[in-house]
Copies of this chain bind each other. A is one copy, B any other.
């Protein structure tokens, strides 16, 4: 099946978590807004089309045959078994989805570091509040989230380097993306935290060295981080 991913064309954003799963699996997909045959208007059209049966509140959303699925974690839980990125038993699927939803919470907190007052305002209009919020995020929340995943990997033990154990799942790919994004946005804070989370760092490295991911990261399909996305590098928000 050819999947259609609908997301903004110029940022990694939440769409990137879906892209990583599709890329790692070598799935056939079109990134609609970046495809010359469709383009960005395609998303706006669908978001405003009153005949769409299951409209999304916001991108990303995925078209898979007749299904139209929104919410990043929901898309991943749908794709997971199809792409071989989660086992089919219920217990594994629920657990991986839980771990993914905690990533969702984490991503929202990242976004709030540069937009603590409103997404409708520019960063420059909420810079002072952003500094305050980021100070708590880098000193308390990054260690807490990183520590949570480190704890799970520690419980798994050395022979089971992924969140589920021996086999990779889609949330491993998302955790890789969190580390990448946080290193870009808060390099000094991450340099402090990473030594206490060696298993998360090792997982990041394992994901990055997977052949399809490696190829993807080197391709033009992987957008660079920038200051319009979720992970933004504003040096004044990082730790001293």
The residue from B56, B70, B91, B137 contacting A67, defined by CB atoms under 8 A apart: B91
The SS class assigned to the A binding surface is helix
Point out the residue from B105, B116, B151, B152 that lies within 8 Å of A129, measured CB to CB. B116
A145-B118 Cα distance, complex, nearest whole Å? 15
User: Chain B's nearest CB lies how many Å from the CB of A28?
Assistant: 21
Chain B residues with CB under 8 Å of A104's CB are 101, 104
Interface residues on A, range: 35 or more
Indicate which residue in B70, B94, B108 contacts A98 across the interface (CB closer than 8 Å). Answer: B70
Interface flags for A94-133 (1: CB within 8 Å of B; 0: not) read: 1101100110110010001000111011000010010011
Min C-beta distance of A210 to chain B, whole Å: 25
CB distance A102 to B71 under 8 Å? yes
| Residues of the B chain whose Cβ atoms lie less than 8 Å from the Cβ of A70 | 98, 102
Expressed in whole angstroms, the minimum distance between the Cβ of A104 and any Cβ of chain B is 8
What residues of B have a CB within 8 angstroms of the CB of A121 in the complex?
136
Q: Is A55 an interface residue, CB under 8 A from the partner? A: yes
Chain B's nearest CB lies how many Å from the CB of A6?
14
Binding site for B on A (CB under 8 A): 50, 53-57, 67, 69-71, 73-74, 77-78, 91, 94-95, 97-98, 101-102, 104-105, 108, 112, 116-118, 120-121, 126, 129, 132-133, 136-137, 140, 145, 148, 151-152, 155
